[in-house]
Amino acid sequence: MDLNGLLGEKGIKTGDLVRVRAKNQIVEGYVMPSTEAEKGMLVLKLKSGYNLGLKQENIEGIEKLIESKVPGIPKPVELKSKPELPVISVLHTGGTIASRIDYSTGAVYASFKPEDLVSLVPEIQDIANIKTKQVMNIMSEDLRFRHYAKIAEAIKEEIGSGVKGIILGHGTDTMHFTSAALSFIFENLPVPVILVGAQRSTDRGSSDAAMNLICAAEFIKQTDFAGIAICMHENTSDNNCLILPGTKARKLHTSRRDAFKPVNAEAIARVNYDSRKVEFLQKDYPKATKKELVVRNGFEEKVALLKTHANMNAEQFSFFEEKGFKGLVIEGTGLGHAPVGDEPESKKILEAIKSLNDKGCTIVMTSQCLYGRTNMTVYTNLRRLVNAGVIPGEDMLPETAFIKLAWLLGNYSPEEAKKLVGKNLRGEISECSRELF
Protein backbone atom coordinates (compact mmCIF):
# COMPACT_ATOMS: atom_id res chain seq x y z
CA MET A 1 0.00 0.00 0.00
CA ASP A 2 1.38 3.42 -0.87
CA LEU A 3 1.65 6.27 1.62
CA ASN A 4 -1.55 8.01 0.53
CA GLY A 5 -3.39 4.70 0.82
CA LEU A 6 -1.99 4.19 4.34
CA LEU A 7 -3.06 7.68 5.41
CA GLY A 8 -6.47 7.33 3.73
CA GLU A 9 -7.10 4.08 5.60
CA LYS A 10 -6.51 5.85 8.92
CA GLY A 11 -8.59 8.87 7.85
CA ILE A 12 -5.51 11.11 8.10
CA LYS A 13 -5.25 14.17 5.89
CA THR A 14 -3.00 17.21 5.45
CA GLY A 15 -2.93 19.39 8.54
CA ASP A 16 -3.89 16.66 11.04
CA LEU A 17 -1.78 16.27 14.17
CA VAL A 18 -0.47 12.70 14.25
CA ARG A 19 1.72 10.47 16.40
CA VAL A 20 4.13 8.24 14.48
CA ARG A 21 6.34 5.40 15.65
CA ALA A 22 9.43 4.98 13.44
CA LYS A 23 12.66 3.15 14.22
CA ASN A 24 11.59 2.81 17.86
CA GLN A 25 11.07 6.53 18.26
CA ILE A 26 7.80 8.40 18.78
CA VAL A 27 7.29 11.64 16.86
CA GLU A 28 4.33 14.01 16.89
CA GLY A 29 3.64 16.60 14.23
CA TYR A 30 1.29 18.03 11.65
CA VAL A 31 0.99 16.20 8.33
CA MET A 32 2.43 18.31 5.52
CA PRO A 33 1.33 17.78 1.93
CA SER A 34 3.67 15.50 0.00
CA THR A 35 5.12 16.61 -3.29
CA GLU A 36 6.76 14.79 -6.12
CA ALA A 37 10.16 15.05 -4.42
CA GLU A 38 8.84 13.38 -1.34
CA LYS A 39 7.05 10.39 -2.82
CA GLY A 40 6.77 7.69 -0.22
CA MET A 41 7.86 10.16 2.44
CA LEU A 42 5.62 11.46 5.19
CA VAL A 43 6.59 15.02 6.05
CA LEU A 44 5.62 16.26 9.51
CA LYS A 45 5.84 19.79 10.82
CA LEU A 46 7.10 19.37 14.39
CA LYS A 47 6.00 21.68 17.17
CA SER A 48 9.51 23.17 17.07
CA GLY A 49 8.60 24.53 13.65
CA TYR A 50 10.97 22.17 11.82
CA ASN A 51 9.97 19.76 9.11
CA LEU A 52 10.75 16.05 9.55
CA GLY A 53 10.63 13.57 6.69
CA LEU A 54 9.85 9.91 7.47
CA LYS A 55 10.35 7.20 4.89
CA GLN A 56 7.26 5.00 4.65
CA GLU A 57 9.41 1.87 5.11
CA ASN A 58 10.47 3.14 8.54
CA ILE A 59 6.93 3.89 9.77
CA GLU A 60 5.87 1.24 12.27
CA GLY A 61 2.63 2.86 13.40
CA ILE A 62 0.63 6.05 12.94
CA GLU A 63 -2.40 7.48 14.74
CA LYS A 64 -4.39 10.68 14.38
CA LEU A 65 -4.44 12.91 17.47
CA ILE A 66 -6.29 16.06 16.34
CA GLU A 67 -8.16 16.97 13.15
CA SER A 68 -6.62 19.56 10.85
CA LYS A 69 -6.78 23.15 11.94
CA VAL A 70 -4.77 24.83 9.21
CA PRO A 71 -4.18 28.33 10.50
CA GLY A 72 -6.19 30.84 8.53
CA ILE A 73 -4.48 33.84 7.06
CA PRO A 74 -5.60 36.92 9.01
CA LYS A 75 -7.69 39.34 7.00
CA PRO A 76 -6.16 42.75 6.33
CA VAL A 77 -6.83 45.07 9.24
CA GLU A 78 -7.97 48.58 8.45
CA LEU A 79 -5.17 50.98 9.40
CA LYS A 80 -6.29 53.40 12.13
CA SER A 81 -4.68 56.80 12.56
CA LYS A 82 -3.87 58.08 16.07
CA PRO A 83 -2.61 61.68 15.89
CA GLU A 84 -0.60 61.39 19.15
CA LEU A 85 1.56 58.56 17.76
CA PRO A 86 4.59 58.90 15.47
CA VAL A 87 4.54 57.57 11.92
CA ILE A 88 6.66 54.53 11.06
CA SER A 89 7.00 53.36 7.49
CA VAL A 90 7.25 49.61 6.88
CA LEU A 91 9.00 48.90 3.59
CA HIS A 92 8.87 45.47 2.21
CA THR A 93 11.45 43.52 0.13
CA GLY A 94 10.50 39.83 0.52
CA GLY A 95 11.85 36.92 2.54
CA THR A 96 10.54 34.72 5.34
CA ILE A 97 9.07 37.62 7.31
CA ALA A 98 6.58 37.91 4.46
CA SER A 99 6.30 34.18 3.85
CA ARG A 100 3.75 31.55 4.57
CA ILE A 101 3.54 27.87 3.79
CA ASP A 102 1.76 27.04 0.58
CA TYR A 103 -0.31 24.07 1.69
CA SER A 104 -0.60 22.83 -1.89
CA THR A 105 3.14 22.19 -2.14
CA GLY A 106 4.41 22.34 1.43
CA ALA A 107 6.96 24.94 0.41
CA VAL A 108 7.40 28.38 1.92
CA TYR A 109 6.34 31.20 -0.37
CA ALA A 110 6.95 34.92 -0.22
CA SER A 111 3.40 36.03 -0.84
CA PHE A 112 2.23 38.47 1.83
CA LYS A 113 1.31 42.01 0.99
CA PRO A 114 2.53 44.70 3.38
CA GLU A 115 -0.97 45.23 4.81
CA ASP A 116 -1.04 41.54 5.74
CA LEU A 117 2.20 41.98 7.64
CA VAL A 118 0.61 44.65 9.81
CA SER A 119 -2.58 42.67 10.19
CA LEU A 120 -0.50 39.83 11.65
CA VAL A 121 0.74 42.15 14.40
CA PRO A 122 -2.22 44.43 15.21
CA GLU A 123 -0.58 45.68 18.44
CA ILE A 124 2.02 47.52 16.35
CA GLN A 125 -0.70 50.13 15.80
CA ASP A 126 -0.58 51.01 19.50
CA ILE A 127 3.06 52.01 19.03
CA ALA A 128 2.86 54.08 15.87
CA ASN A 129 0.82 54.96 12.84
CA ILE A 130 1.98 52.48 10.25
CA LYS A 131 2.51 53.22 6.57
CA THR A 132 3.43 50.28 4.37
CA LYS A 133 4.90 49.88 0.94
CA GLN A 134 6.09 46.91 -1.08
CA VAL A 135 9.38 47.89 -2.70
CA MET A 136 9.97 44.43 -4.19
CA ASN A 137 9.36 40.78 -3.44
CA ILE A 138 12.61 38.89 -3.86
CA MET A 139 14.17 36.14 -1.75
CA SER A 140 17.23 37.71 -0.19
CA GLU A 141 19.82 35.41 -1.84
CA ASP A 142 18.83 36.90 -5.21
CA LEU A 143 19.28 40.55 -4.21
CA ARG A 144 21.78 42.50 -6.32
CA PHE A 145 23.45 45.88 -6.15
CA ARG A 146 20.66 47.42 -8.26
CA HIS A 147 18.17 46.35 -5.59
CA TYR A 148 20.14 48.17 -2.89
CA ALA A 149 19.83 51.35 -4.96
CA LYS A 150 16.09 50.75 -5.34
CA ILE A 151 15.63 50.18 -1.60
CA ALA A 152 17.67 53.32 -0.91
CA GLU A 153 15.39 55.35 -3.18
CA ALA A 154 12.32 54.11 -1.32
CA ILE A 155 13.95 54.94 2.04
CA LYS A 156 14.83 58.44 0.83
CA GLU A 157 11.27 59.00 -0.29
CA GLU A 158 9.89 57.91 3.10
CA ILE A 159 12.37 60.15 4.93
CA GLY A 160 11.15 63.02 2.78
CA SER A 161 7.60 62.37 3.95
CA GLY A 162 8.66 63.04 7.54
CA VAL A 163 8.41 59.65 9.25
CA LYS A 164 9.93 58.93 12.70
CA GLY A 165 11.70 55.91 11.29
CA ILE A 166 11.60 53.05 8.83
CA ILE A 167 11.28 49.30 9.24
CA LEU A 168 12.65 47.33 6.32
CA GLY A 169 11.23 43.79 6.10
CA HIS A 170 13.99 41.63 4.64
CA GLY A 171 14.97 37.99 4.14
CA THR A 172 17.55 36.97 6.74
CA ASP A 173 20.06 35.18 4.48
CA THR A 174 21.71 38.30 3.10
CA MET A 175 20.27 40.88 5.50
CA HIS A 176 23.78 41.77 6.68
CA PHE A 177 24.90 42.43 3.08
CA THR A 178 21.95 44.82 2.62
CA SER A 179 22.42 46.51 6.00
CA ALA A 180 26.07 47.13 5.08
CA ALA A 181 25.10 48.44 1.64
CA LEU A 182 22.54 50.88 3.08
CA SER A 183 25.04 51.97 5.76
CA PHE A 184 27.45 53.09 3.04
CA ILE A 185 24.82 54.51 0.65
CA PHE A 186 23.52 56.97 3.25
CA GLU A 187 25.59 59.62 4.97
CA ASN A 188 23.94 61.78 7.67
CA LEU A 189 20.84 59.63 7.85
CA PRO A 190 18.33 61.61 9.97
CA VAL A 191 16.16 58.68 11.20
CA PRO A 192 16.54 55.06 12.30
CA VAL A 193 16.20 52.51 9.50
CA ILE A 194 15.81 49.08 11.06
CA LEU A 195 16.05 45.86 9.04
CA VAL A 196 13.75 43.17 10.40
CA GLY A 197 13.57 39.55 9.34
CA ALA A 198 12.11 36.29 10.56
CA GLN A 199 13.67 32.86 10.81
CA ARG A 200 10.29 31.09 10.92
CA SER A 201 7.40 31.99 8.62
CA THR A 202 4.49 33.92 10.04
CA ASP A 203 2.00 31.05 9.93
CA ARG A 204 4.04 29.05 12.44
CA GLY A 205 3.47 29.19 16.16
CA SER A 206 7.20 29.63 16.59
CA SER A 207 7.42 32.62 14.23
CA ASP A 208 9.68 35.38 15.44
CA ALA A 209 8.26 37.94 13.00
CA ALA A 210 5.81 39.65 15.37
CA MET A 211 8.26 40.18 18.24
CA ASN A 212 11.03 41.42 15.94
CA LEU A 213 8.61 43.92 14.37
CA ILE A 214 7.25 45.13 17.72
CA CYS A 215 10.74 45.60 19.17
CA ALA A 216 11.90 47.48 16.05
CA ALA A 217 8.86 49.77 16.25
CA GLU A 218 9.38 50.43 19.97
CA PHE A 219 13.04 51.16 19.38
CA ILE A 220 12.21 53.63 16.59
CA LYS A 221 9.59 55.31 18.74
CA GLN A 222 11.83 55.72 21.78
CA THR A 223 15.27 56.35 20.31
CA ASP A 224 17.39 59.22 19.02
CA PHE A 225 19.58 56.72 17.14
CA ALA A 226 19.87 57.61 13.46
CA GLY A 227 21.37 55.10 11.07
CA ILE A 228 21.08 51.56 9.74
CA ALA A 229 20.60 48.65 12.16
CA ILE A 230 19.16 45.14 12.36
CA CYS A 231 16.53 44.05 14.93
CA MET A 232 16.39 40.31 15.69
CA HIS A 233 16.01 37.96 18.69
CA GLU A 234 18.85 38.08 21.26
CA ASN A 235 18.34 34.45 22.33
CA THR A 236 15.92 31.58 21.81
CA SER A 237 13.53 32.85 24.50
CA ASP A 238 10.96 35.39 23.36
CA ASN A 239 12.11 38.09 25.78
CA ASN A 240 14.66 40.43 24.14
CA CYS A 241 15.62 41.70 20.73
CA LEU A 242 19.00 43.22 19.94
CA ILE A 243 19.56 46.27 17.76
CA LEU A 244 22.70 45.35 15.82
CA PRO A 245 25.05 47.70 13.94
CA GLY A 246 24.45 47.51 10.17
CA THR A 247 28.13 46.96 9.33
CA LYS A 248 29.04 44.68 12.24
CA ALA A 249 26.40 41.93 12.26
CA ARG A 250 26.19 38.52 10.67
CA LYS A 251 23.87 35.53 10.40
CA LEU A 252 25.58 32.78 12.39
CA HIS A 253 22.92 30.06 12.49
CA THR A 254 20.86 28.51 9.73
CA SER A 255 17.60 28.29 11.66
CA ARG A 256 17.72 29.62 15.23
CA ARG A 257 15.76 32.78 15.95
CA ASP A 258 18.85 34.34 17.53
CA ALA A 259 20.89 33.71 14.38
CA PHE A 260 22.22 37.27 14.14
CA LYS A 261 25.22 38.23 16.27
CA PRO A 262 27.32 41.35 16.50
CA VAL A 263 30.90 40.59 15.43
CA ASN A 264 33.83 42.66 16.72
CA ALA A 265 31.34 45.13 18.20
CA GLU A 266 28.71 45.55 20.88
CA ALA A 267 25.02 45.51 20.02
CA ILE A 268 23.65 49.05 19.90
CA ALA A 269 20.74 48.35 22.24
CA ARG A 270 18.50 45.69 23.77
CA VAL A 271 14.70 45.95 23.59
CA ASN A 272 12.66 44.00 26.12
CA TYR A 273 9.51 42.64 24.52
CA ASP A 274 7.42 42.56 27.71
CA SER A 275 8.41 45.86 29.32
CA ARG A 276 9.16 47.58 26.00
CA LYS A 277 12.21 49.04 27.70
CA VAL A 278 15.14 50.10 25.49
CA GLU A 279 18.58 49.65 27.08
CA PHE A 280 21.54 51.10 25.22
CA LEU A 281 24.68 48.96 25.14
CA GLN A 282 26.74 51.33 22.99
CA LYS A 283 27.47 54.75 24.42
CA ASP A 284 28.38 56.62 21.28
CA TYR A 285 25.78 55.44 18.83
CA PRO A 286 25.06 57.61 15.76
CA LYS A 287 22.45 60.35 16.19
CA ALA A 288 20.82 62.73 13.75
CA THR A 289 22.80 65.84 12.80
CA LYS A 290 21.81 68.95 10.91
CA LYS A 291 24.04 67.91 8.03
CA GLU A 292 22.33 67.28 4.74
CA LEU A 293 21.50 63.70 3.80
CA VAL A 294 23.93 62.39 1.17
CA VAL A 295 22.96 59.41 -1.00
CA ARG A 296 25.69 57.65 -2.99
CA ASN A 297 24.17 54.55 -4.51
CA GLY A 298 26.77 53.52 -7.08
CA PHE A 299 28.24 50.01 -6.94
CA GLU A 300 30.98 48.55 -9.13
CA GLU A 301 29.62 45.30 -10.59
CA LYS A 302 33.02 43.63 -11.08
CA VAL A 303 33.81 42.98 -7.44
CA ALA A 304 33.92 39.56 -5.78
CA LEU A 305 34.58 37.83 -2.47
CA LEU A 306 37.02 34.89 -2.52
CA LYS A 307 37.37 32.59 0.46
CA THR A 308 40.71 30.77 0.58
CA HIS A 309 41.01 27.09 1.42
CA ALA A 310 43.66 24.39 1.54
CA ASN A 311 45.23 23.24 -1.75
CA MET A 312 44.25 26.29 -3.83
CA ASN A 313 45.75 26.94 -7.23
CA ALA A 314 46.74 30.15 -9.00
CA GLU A 315 43.91 29.77 -11.55
CA GLN A 316 41.42 30.48 -8.75
CA PHE A 317 43.04 33.92 -8.40
CA SER A 318 43.94 34.71 -12.03
CA PHE A 319 40.27 34.15 -12.94
CA PHE A 320 39.60 37.63 -11.55
CA GLU A 321 42.25 39.16 -13.81
CA GLU A 322 40.98 37.31 -16.88
CA LYS A 323 37.44 38.49 -16.22
CA GLY A 324 38.45 42.09 -15.62
CA PHE A 325 37.45 42.40 -11.97
CA LYS A 326 38.02 45.82 -10.41
CA GLY A 327 37.89 44.72 -6.79
CA LEU A 328 38.49 41.51 -4.82
CA VAL A 329 38.02 40.86 -1.12
CA ILE A 330 40.01 37.82 -0.04
CA GLU A 331 38.63 35.98 2.97
CA GLY A 332 41.93 34.56 4.11
CA THR A 333 42.90 32.48 7.13
CA GLY A 334 43.98 33.71 10.56
CA LEU A 335 45.50 37.20 10.63
CA GLY A 336 44.97 37.57 6.87
CA HIS A 337 46.89 34.75 5.20
CA ALA A 338 46.69 33.41 1.69
CA PRO A 339 48.93 30.56 0.52
CA VAL A 340 51.92 32.57 -0.71
CA GLY A 341 54.80 30.67 0.90
CA ASP A 342 57.54 28.58 -0.66
CA GLU A 343 55.52 25.72 -2.16
CA PRO A 344 55.57 25.87 -5.99
CA GLU A 345 51.77 26.41 -6.14
CA SER A 346 52.00 29.12 -3.46
CA LYS A 347 54.63 31.00 -5.47
CA LYS A 348 52.30 30.98 -8.48
CA ILE A 349 49.45 32.26 -6.32
CA LEU A 350 51.59 35.18 -5.14
CA GLU A 351 52.41 35.97 -8.77
CA ALA A 352 48.70 35.85 -9.67
CA ILE A 353 47.83 38.23 -6.83
CA LYS A 354 50.63 40.63 -7.82
CA SER A 355 49.52 40.56 -11.43
CA LEU A 356 45.86 41.14 -10.49
CA ASN A 357 46.91 44.16 -8.42
CA ASP A 358 49.13 45.48 -11.22
CA LYS A 359 46.14 45.35 -13.58
CA GLY A 360 44.38 47.84 -11.30
CA CYS A 361 42.22 45.50 -9.22
CA THR A 362 41.92 46.70 -5.62
CA ILE A 363 42.53 43.73 -3.30
CA VAL A 364 41.48 43.73 0.36
CA MET A 365 42.25 41.06 2.96
CA THR A 366 39.76 39.90 5.61
CA SER A 367 39.69 36.81 7.83
CA GLN A 368 37.49 33.72 7.65
CA CYS A 369 37.87 33.55 11.44
CA LEU A 370 35.23 36.35 11.35
CA TYR A 371 36.10 37.40 14.91
CA GLY A 372 39.28 39.38 15.48
CA ARG A 373 41.41 41.57 13.27
CA THR A 374 43.77 41.18 10.35
CA ASN A 375 47.36 42.00 11.27
CA MET A 376 49.55 41.83 8.23
CA THR A 377 52.93 42.70 9.73
CA VAL A 378 53.56 39.63 11.87
CA TYR A 379 54.59 36.87 9.45
CA THR A 380 56.79 36.78 6.35
CA ASN A 381 53.92 35.50 4.19
CA LEU A 382 51.74 38.42 5.31
CA ARG A 383 54.41 40.97 4.34
CA ARG A 384 54.61 39.31 0.93
CA LEU A 385 50.89 39.96 0.44
CA VAL A 386 51.18 43.59 1.52
CA ASN A 387 54.12 44.06 -0.83
CA ALA A 388 51.95 42.59 -3.62
CA GLY A 389 49.45 45.38 -2.99
CA VAL A 390 46.93 43.65 -0.71
CA ILE A 391 45.27 46.11 1.71
CA PRO A 392 44.48 44.88 5.25
CA GLY A 393 40.73 44.98 5.95
CA GLU A 394 41.35 45.59 9.68
CA ASP A 395 38.46 44.01 11.66
CA MET A 396 35.82 44.29 8.94
CA LEU A 397 33.57 41.32 8.33
CA PRO A 398 34.32 39.79 4.90
CA GLU A 399 30.74 40.50 3.77
CA THR A 400 30.95 44.13 4.89
CA ALA A 401 34.35 44.58 3.23
CA PHE A 402 32.95 43.16 -0.03
CA ILE A 403 30.01 45.58 -0.01
CA LYS A 404 32.25 48.49 1.00
CA LEU A 405 34.77 47.82 -1.77
CA ALA A 406 32.04 47.56 -4.45
CA TRP A 407 30.48 50.77 -3.10
CA LEU A 408 33.80 52.64 -2.97
CA LEU A 409 34.69 51.62 -6.54
CA GLY A 410 31.19 52.63 -7.64
CA ASN A 411 31.47 56.16 -6.25
CA TYR A 412 35.18 57.04 -6.05
CA SER A 413 38.34 56.63 -8.12
CA PRO A 414 40.40 53.47 -7.52
CA GLU A 415 43.04 55.65 -5.81
CA GLU A 416 40.47 57.11 -3.41
CA ALA A 417 38.95 53.67 -2.86
CA LYS A 418 42.37 52.28 -1.86
CA LYS A 419 42.75 55.06 0.68
CA LEU A 420 39.25 54.75 2.13
CA VAL A 421 38.84 50.97 2.30
CA GLY A 422 41.00 50.59 5.43
CA LYS A 423 39.51 53.68 7.13
CA ASN A 424 36.40 53.64 9.30
CA LEU A 425 33.48 55.34 7.52
CA ARG A 426 30.32 53.83 9.05
CA GLY A 427 31.44 51.91 12.12
CA GLU A 428 32.67 49.01 9.97
CA ILE A 429 36.17 49.24 11.45
CA SER A 430 36.54 49.36 15.23
CA GLU A 431 38.49 52.12 16.84
CA CYS A 432 41.26 50.65 18.93
CA SER A 433 44.86 51.31 19.83
CA ARG A 434 45.87 50.49 16.25
CA GLU A 435 44.26 53.77 15.23
CA LEU A 436 47.54 55.27 16.41
CA PHE A 437 49.25 53.75 13.37
257-316 positions binding a second copy, by CB under 8 A? 259, 299, 301, 303-312, 315-316
The one-letter amino acid at 382:
L
Measured from the CB atom, is 44 or 214 closer to a second copy?
Answer: 44
- How many residues in the shown chain lie near a second copy by CB under 8 A? 96
- One-letter amino acid for residue 314 of the chain: A
Q: Give dist(CA 408, CA 248) in Å, integer.
A: 18
Of the CA atoms within 13 Å of residue 27, those in its CB half-sphere come to 23
* Segment lying near a second copy (by CB under 8 A), choices 33-41, 272-280, 288-296, 356-364: 33-41
> How far, in Å, CA of 386 to CA of 355, rounded?
13
284 vs 342, beta carbon nearer a second copy? 342
172 is catalytic: yes
Which residue stretch of 82-90, 100-108, 114-122, 229-237 sits at the interface with a second copy (rule: CB under 8 A)?
A: 100-108
Minimal distance, residue 177 CB to a second copy, in Å:
4
How far apart CA 179 and CA 244 sit, in angstroms, is 10
Q: Which of 16, 45, 93, 96 is catalytic?
A: 96
Closer residue to a second copy in complex, CB, 253/277: 253
Q: Which residues contact 200 (CB under 8 A, 6 or more apart)?
A: 49, 96, 206, 207, 208, 209, 257
Nearer to a second copy, 176 or 426 (CB): 176
Q: Which residues pair with 270 in a beta bridge?
A: 242, 279
In the complex, least distance from residue 345 CB atom to a second copy, rounded to whole angstroms: 7
The type of residue at 428 is: E
The footprint of a second copy on residues 191-250 (CB under 8 A) is none
- Cβ proximity to a second copy: between 82 and 253 the closer is 253
Confirm or reject binding of residue 6 to a second copy (CB under 8 A): no
Q: Which of 173, 203, 208, 258 is catalytic?
A: 173
Rounded Cα distance, 194 and 139, in Å: 18
* Half-sphere exposure for 241 (CA within 13 Å, toward CB): 30
- Contact with a second copy (CB under 8 A): which of 125, 132, 362, 367? 367
Q: How far is the CB of 272 from a second copy (least distance, A)?
A: 25
Biggest CA pair distance of the chain? 76
Is 308 in the active site? no
What's the closest the beta carbon of residue 263 comes to a second copy, in angstroms?
A: 10
**Residue from the set 165, 327, 339, 392 that interacts with a second copy by CB under 8 A:** 339
342 is catalytic: no
Segment lying near a second copy (by CB under 8 A), choices 118-126, 133-141, 158-166, 207-215: 133-141
Among 17, 18, 22, 31, binds a second copy (CB under 8 A): 22
Q: Which residue in 26, 65, 252, 294 binds a second copy (CB under 8 A)?
A: 252
Helix 145-160 vs helix 175-185: crossing angle, to nearest 10 = 60
Between CA 31 and CA 6 the distance in angstroms is 13
Which among 105, 120, 143 is positioned nearest to 73, based on CA atoms?
Answer: 120
Residues 179-198 that bind a second copy (CB under 8 A): 181
CB of 374 to a second copy, least distance (A): 7
Whether 164 contacts 220, CB under 8 Å: yes
Task: Give yes or no: 96 in active site.
Answer: yes
Within 394-433, the residues that bind a second copy by CB under 8 A are 399, 402-403, 406, 433
State the DSSP code for 285: -
Residues within window 58-87 making contact with a second copy, judged by CB under 8 A: 58
Candidates 93, 132, 172, 374; catalytic one: 172
- Tell me: does residue 57 bind a second copy (CB under 8 A): no
User: Dihedrals φ, ψ of 18, to 5°?
Assistant: -130, 160
H-type helices in 77-189, by residue range? Answer: 114-120, 145-160, 175-185
The span of 22-30, 65-73, 279-287, 289-297 binding a second copy (CB under 8 A) equals 22-30
- Counting every residue written for the chain, the total comes to 437
259 to 122, 206, 318, 327, 416: CA distances (angstroms):
25, 14, 35, 29, 35
State the angle between helix axes of 344-358 and 380-387 in degrees (0 to 180), rounded to the nearest 10: 30
Binding window for a second copy (CB under 8 A); candidates: 47-55, 74-82, 275-283, 411-419? 47-55
Question: How many CA atoms are closer than 13 Å to the CA of 157, on its beta-carbon side?
Answer: 12
Q: Answer whether 135's CB lies under 8 Å from 113's CB.
A: no
| 132 near a second copy, rule: CB under 8 A | no
State in angstroms the smallest separation of the CB of 423 from a second copy.
15
**Which residue, 10 or 144, is less far from a second copy as judged by CB?**
144
Residue 48, CA atoms < 13 Å, CB-side half-sphere: 9
Question: Which span (83-91, 111-119, 240-248, 254-262) binds a second copy, by CB under 8 A?
Answer: 254-262
Catalytic site residues? Answer: 96, 172-173, 251
